[in-house]
Amino acid sequence: MMVSDIVLERVIFMDKYFEEAVNLAKVGVENNEGGPFGAVVVKNGEVVGRGNNKVLINNDPTAHAEVVAIRDACRNLNTYDLTDCIIYSTSEPCPMCLSSIIWSNIKTVYFSSDRKEVSSIGFRDDLIYKYFEENKKDILNATKCENIKCNNLLKEYKNTIY
């Protein structure tokens, strides 16, 4: 097999996964479940998790397509560790979704629309990026407070696992 054949094969598979993610997003929009976002988690060439944005239908601001797909993959694989999985998303994952992807040990993400394109249709991911970049207190005022009970909770947990 030549390099160009390998690249072509990869593009064909990517198109297949993106097509499924797009179809999930379209169904979600048609059913008024949430925004135009879909995602699939793939392991060894097989789709193991599917998700579309379900923020509206679930009244859950965390029910983004990537998170829904990760939850589905974890349920289907009976593990929280998605090492060796790849996620395909119709749009660039927001910071919350990126965190979920990292926590689940997925190391590869493919996406199509970027954050600027998503912002241009009214989604507010830019607020989160501004918060991280500029520590904007008008977006979120997060303050570290000392509490002995909270601190002890971590110490007690650490002692149970080590």
Annotated catalytic residue within 9, 30, 46, 66:
66
Strand order in the sheet with 46-52: 46-52, 38-43, 85-91, 108-113
CB under 8 Å to 102, separation ≥6 — which residues? none
Active site residue 19: no
Q: Catalytic amino acids?
A: 66
